[in-house]
Amino acid sequence: MLDVIRPGDARYPSVQHVYVATGSPAAVIRPRSAAEVPEALALARAKDQPIAIRSGGHGISSISTNTGGVVIDLGALNTVERLHDQHVRIGPGARWSGVARALYPMGLAISSGDSGDVGVGGLATTGGIGLMGRAHGLTIDHLTAAEVVTADGCTVRASRSDHPDLFWGLRGAGANFGIVTSFEFRAAPTPSVVQATVAYALPDVAGFLQRWGHVLETAPREVSAFLYLIGGPTPFAQATVVFAGDDTAAAADALEPFVRLPGVVRQRAQLVPYASVPLTTNATHTGQQAAVTHTGLADHLDPDLARATAVLLRGGAADMVQIRSAGGAINDVPADATAYAHRHQNFSVTAVTTGDRAAFADAWRPLRTLMDGIYLSFESDHQADDVLRAFPAATLARLRELKLRWDPDRVFTQNFDVSLKA
């Protein structure tokens, strides 16, 4: 019998919310195995209510919970198994910290993102801009196959040879086509990395950003870096810079330009297991991070974008701006090879606020015009306009055809529904 948690159940408070939102679903169905997922979906469909799919519950768009609808929570499908050599199979409910810890003794790692609390299901169906991204590509670039329960309740395997069209769509717009119950990846043989943390005081945010952009774009591709900027009267930034490998001499050379940038107030670098890189709290979800984000991708941190980012931070409408490196191996993949089609940009720029949403949207607008597409996993909004920015026209046309074939009744309308038209 399916495990269904409804209001009044003592377990309900621990499953109703997600990280960025509170929710009050009518039922949370928790399959214990992939075999139970078709039954869970049939039950959810019979209710004729909104259906949310949840893996780790860390979705930025907050739609892995709802009000009055049904949630299918895949948290129990969290195994990490080695298949052979570098090939592993991972459940959608695993968290990236758990994945990294399980892969380390195997001498393997998969680049995911900075948060170890993020679930495999949400990230591996959209992209995965991680701290080894310039060296290894996106997380989805390592996906070799996925098992999916489609809208009609069938379980299908998608890979380059099985339903290649579905496999293409899953890698960037996965939430549109079904419920992924397992992911197979070819992991990388990079269990250890050199991780540096550098803090900067930023009297001149715009000038710093241009220099940061140049240093990053000219760094060897073993280097990936995420920069977190805080505004206010004395703006500052903290960077996490990762050299994907254990060659400490090469790492020292590669990291040196980052500590030669102006304003360094603290620095530290060490050889660490990659498993310690994704930060984790393992906290129960209570909607604790009630933040909204706006995001965009950019080729370069050019003077206009750097100045606009400085103005945004100075104005106070954003609590933080995060600038993640893309580029490198991410851009080796042809734009039409996966539904994630942004293969020429070098940076992902995301602003976050817990404050006034309208003021934040106004303050973000000047940056939006300087951006070239969005990575959907960093955007809170998911209206038609956002869908158009997440997928270039040719990609979107192909996704809409796929949607008609695999989900003609529009069961899966969460997370950037490609059917939405402006």
Ligand X SMILES: Cc1cc2nc3c(=O)[nH]c(=O)nc-3n(C[C@H](O)[C@H](O)[C@H](O)COP(=O)(O)OP(=O)(O)OC[C@H]3O[C@@H](n4cnc5c(N)ncnc54)[C@H](O)[C@@H]3O)c2cc1C
**Residue with Cβ nearer ligand X (169 or 235):** 169
**Residue with Cβ nearer ligand X (102 or 206):** 102
134 binds ligand X (CB under 6 A): no
Which 155-174 positions form the footprint of ligand X (CB under 6 A)? 174
Residue of 56, 69, 98, 213 interacting with ligand X (CB under 6 A): 56
119 binds ligand X (CB under 6 A): yes
**Residue with Cβ nearer ligand X (116 or 235):** 116
137 binds ligand X (CB under 6 A): no
Judge contact between 271 and 355, C-beta under 8 A. no
91 binds ligand X (CB under 6 A): no
Give which of 352, 348, 344 is closest to 320, Cα–Cα: 352
Contact string 171-210 vs ligand X (x = CB under 6 A): ---xx---xx------------------------------
* Residue 252 CA from chain centroid, whole number: 29
**Residue with Cβ nearer ligand X (58 or 389):** 58
Closest distance to ligand X from the beta carbon of 265 (Å): 24
**Residue with Cβ nearer ligand X (192 or 415):** 415
Distance CA 207, CA 262 (A): 10
**Residue with Cβ nearer ligand X (53 or 145):** 53
Residue with tokens 């984790």: 280
Which 15-34 positions form the footprint of ligand X (CB under 6 A)? 18-19
DSSP 234: S
Distance CA 101, CA 56 (A): 16
64 binds ligand X (CB under 6 A): yes
Continuous H helices in 83-132: 96-103, 120-123
Residue with tokens 């299908």: 156
Q: How far apart are the first and last CA of the chain?
A: 42
Judge contact between 300 and 213, C-beta under 8 A. yes
DSSP 24: B
**Can you say whether residue 21 is alpha, beta or left, with left for phi > 0 and alpha for psi between -120 and 50 degrees?**
beta
53 binds ligand X (CB under 6 A): yes
114 binds ligand X (CB under 6 A): yes
* Residue 312 CA from chain centroid, whole number: 23
Which residues of this protein are in contact with ligand X, per CB under 6 A? 18-19, 52-60, 63-64, 74, 92, 113-115, 118-119, 121-123, 125-130, 174-175, 179-180, 377, 414-415
